[in-house]
Amino acid sequence: MTSKFYKRLFLLPGLLLLIAIIIFPLLFTIRVSMANWNVSQSGLDWAGGANWARMFHDANFWSSLFRLLYFSFITTTLQYILGFAAAMYAWKGFASRRFFRVLWLVPLMTTPSVMAIVWRSIFREDIGAANGFLRLFGVDPIAWSTQIFPAGVTITIAEVWQWTPFMFLILLAGLLSLPKEQFLSADIDGATPWRTFWSITFPLMAPISIGAIIIRLIEASKIFDSIFNLTSAGPGNATETPAYYLYTRGLREFQISYGATMGLMYLILAILTLTILGQILARVSKPRGL
Amino acid sequence: MSRIFKYSFIFIWSAFVLTPLSWALVTSFKPPAAVNNGATFIPWLQFQPTLDGWKDITGISGYANLFPPLINSATVTFFATLVSLTFGCMAAYGLSRFSYGWKHYKNPDIIFFFISQRIMPPAVLAVPFFILLKTLHLLDTKLGLVLVLTSGLMPIVVWLLVDFFNQLPKEIDEMAMLEGCNPFEAFVRTILPLSKPGLTVAGMFSIIFGWNDLFFALVLTFTNVQTLPVAVVALNGTVTPFWTLCASAIFSILPLIGLAFVVERFLSKGGFAGAVR
């Protein structure tokens, strides 16, 4: 019973289980991306890099990537700022905070695909709640689903509603586990709340913030459920993200090989982006003392 | 000034959180006229509530019955979470306390490997998973769905718990080992009881992501193991009226809302206080 045995005992079961589940799908995807395969064929043919070449010239794929970049940046930023603000208020300072903690966690517990259906009923132009509410104030109905900008707004609202509580929870858990000593000495020194926040709370929260932002970006980049049920990538393809585009090409039109190719390219780009971003965020947070 | 800002933030944010939920709840009791003639908001004043939508989804009117999907969702989520949490927390503890290495791949790379499993869009993995489960005769079974979900849930558990374990001082487990525990006993007897908040948060995310998964359930199961999101989206695809859809939405999110209370309780108890003595 060496310590090497225990070292392996902890990591290997989980790691091997994960590899066992994921290895076949991953290898299969790589192989399929070099074939021209649809489900009706029994064997795999060989198409070399044809799918890859096609992808590099597919303007729809690249524009969906840029749309995603822009989109996940906006939603994640909004979620982080709102989530942090909510976490600060729910951390301490007002009496009924425990009630609000529960309330603000609720959207996280709801199913995105189901909520997208509810949001769609809210943004229905004729009989939906949003236009009905605006009408009370004499505002003309907005064409939520047929104009590009309002369609983007509906998705942003749905995503911010759904996932800000994720940031809120992670950041609140972080705040609650912070050591109290530094805040006591700041109190004694008579620091203003604003100053305490920037020089103590925010730097202490940096590692947790980075973790939360990275997870959120990963999840945001897969956004599918809300687009599928809310706008179906419309109007036109104005709200189409890579996940939805892959789905259309791969599973609806059964160009499985092409879908696999785009999936791999997307995976490579996402890992690169996240690695670089992780490094940058880690470096930015270092000089503040962590 | 900052007081005004504070209370208006709290008010506006709470109103925003409640908006879609209250709309769905109110709409689920509407009669057809209250939906089709423009938006209505206030029951009794603007319309007389009916239970038609709820009768449609509970099998009373024979339209649809969401109770079997509810049981499927609960079973699949429970087992996927159990497996992810068991293996995930061991892996996370290992990654927090030991240093692993294979060539120049070190702990951070292993952690990144775990989390990278969540990057791949489900639309790409759906077909290979379909073939895999078909070969193993696990299509449309709970076990198959549990396995596939585990590959997405364990990464979240590992990612969250490595951070939590890192915050627990190493002296705690060293102390236990000095008193004669082996590393595994030290982990089970001292670290696990102290990590209840972390385990709660990780378990909760696992439950949420498992419960809310639409895509894999849509592709990998058909009639035997229809889960709740699939059943609701299927209703949405047919000519189901708004009030029934809203009732099904409320029905499928109610079970997890209780989780918010559980999580809050653990958070407020202050997990780490007294861990170091």
Residues of chain A contacting residue B10, judged by C-beta atoms under 8 Å apart: 89, 94, 100
| Identity at A113, one-letter amino acid code | S
List Cα–Cα distances, B22 to A128, A136, A269, in angstroms. Answer: 14, 18, 40
Chain A residues close to B98, C-beta within 8 Å: 7, 10-11
Asked if the C-beta of B150 comes within 8 angstroms of chain A's C-beta atoms, the answer is yes
| CB atoms near residue B224 (< 10 Å) | 11
Residue A94 pLDDT greater than 70, yes or no: no
Alpha helical stretches, state H, A92-199? 97-109, 112-122, 129-136, 148-176, 181-188, 193-196
Cis peptide before A112 (omega within 30 of 0): no
CA distance A219 to A40: 32
Cβ-Cβ contacts under 8 Å, A216 against chain B: none
A222–B contact, CB cutoff 8 A: yes
Local structure of A147: helix, strand or coil: coil
- Is the CB of residue B27 less than 8 Å from the CB of residue B249? no
The neighbouring-strand residues paired with B105 are B102
Question: Tens digit of pLDDT for each residue in B115-140?
Answer: 888 877 777 788 788 888 888 899 88
Q: What are the pLDDT digits (tens) for A136-186?
A: 888 888 888 788 888 889 999 999 999 999 999 888 888 887 777 777 777
Residue A14 lies in a domain: no
The alpha carbon of residue B180 is apart from the nearest alpha carbon of chain A, in Å, by 14
The answer to whether the CB atoms of A18 and B154 lie below 8 A apart is yes
**Which is more confidently placed, B101 or A102?**
A102
- Residue A28 lies inside a defined structural domain of this protein: no
Interface probe with B: pick from A2, A22, A219, A232, most Cβ of B within 10 Å? A22
Q: Which residues of A touch B115 (CB under 8 A)?
A: 214-215, 218
Interface test with A, best of B120, B143, B150 (most A CBs within 10 A): B120
CB pairs < 8 Å spanning A and B: 267
A243 inside domain: yes
Q: Which backbone phi and psi does B58 adopt, to 5 degrees?
A: -105, 10
Any B CB within 8 A of A83 CB: no
Say yes or no: B39 contacts chain A, CB-CB below 8 A: yes
Judge: A14–B211 Cβ closer than 8 Å, yes or no: no
Residue A183, token pair as written in the block:
């805040």
Domains, in order of start, for chain B: 67-268 (1.10.3720.10)
The count of other CB atoms within 10 Å of the CB of residue A210 is: 17
d(CA A77, CA A176): 22
Percent of chain B with pLDDT over 70: 96
Put simply, the answer to whether A28 touches B150 (Cβ < 8 Å) is no
Which of the two residues, A243 and B16, has the higher pLDDT score?
A: B16
The per-residue pLDDT of chain A, averaged, comes to: 84
Nearest chain B residue to A273 by CA distance is B119
Residue A71 lies in a domain: yes
At residue B211 the predicted structure's pLDDT band, cuts being 50, 70 and 90, is very high
Number of domains in chain A: 1
- For residue A182, what are the CA distances in angstroms to A80, A153, A197, A198, A205? 24, 41, 11, 13, 13
Query: Residue A93: which region, alpha, beta or left (left: phi > 0; alpha: psi -120 to 50)?
Result: left
- Smallest CA–CA distance from A28 into chain B, residue: B128
The token pair at A108 is 């996280």
Each residue of A212-261: pLDDT tens digit?
Answer: 888 888 888 878 888 888 887 778 788 888 888 888 887 778 888 888 88
In a domain, A110, yes or no: yes
Name residues whose C-beta falls within 8 Å of residue B249's C-beta, 6 or more positions apart in sequence. Answer: A114, A115, A117, A118, B24, B28, B232
Give strand pairing partners of B43: B47
Q: Choose among A10, A91, A177, A182: nearest CA to B275.
A: A177
User: Coil, strand or helix: which one is A114?
Assistant: helix
Tens-digit pLDDT profile for residues B53-92: 888 888 888 788 889 999 999 999 999 999 999 999 999 9
Return the pLDDT at B272. Answer: 34
Treating both helix axes as pointing N-terminal to C-terminal, what angle do A148-176 and B196-212 enclose, rounded to 10 degrees? 160
pLDDT, mean over chain B: 85
Whether B252 and A126 lie within 8 Å, measured CB to CB: no
Q: Which chain A residues have a beta carbon less than 8 Å from that of B201?
A: 169-170, 173
Q: How confident is the model at residue A38 (pLDDT cuts 50, 70, 90)?
A: low
The pLDDT of residue A290 is: 38
Domain region containing A203: 58-288
| Helix (H), strand (E) counts: chain A | 14, 0
- Min Cα separation A197/chain B (Å): 14
Say which residue, B92 or B238, is predicted with more confidence: B92
More confident site: B19 or B201: B19
pLDDT of residue A2: 67
Residues 41-80 of A with CB under 8 A from B: none
Residue A284 in contact with partner chain B when CB distance is under 8 A: no
Q: How close B200 gets to chain A, by Cα (Å)?
A: 11
Kindly calculate the radius of gyration of chain A based on its CA atoms and give it in whole angstroms.
23
Question: For B252, which of A39, A93, A111 is closest by C-beta distance?
Answer: A111
The minimal CB distance from B6 to the residues A17, A32, A89 is found for: A89
Looking at residue A225, its pLDDT comes to 80
Residue of B nearest to A88 (CA): B6
For residues A6 and B183, the answer to whether their CB atoms sit within 8 Å is: yes
Residue A65 sits in a domain whose CATH number is 1.10.3720.10
CB–CB contact B122 A222 (8 Å): yes
Q: Which of B112, B229, B259 sits opposite A109 (nearest CB)?
A: B259
Neighbours of A192 (CB within 10 A): 10
User: What span, in angstroms and rounded, lies between the C-alpha atoms of B74 and A107?
Assistant: 19
Rounded-to-integer distance, Cα B169 and Cα A256, Å: 49
Residue A286 has a pLDDT of: 60
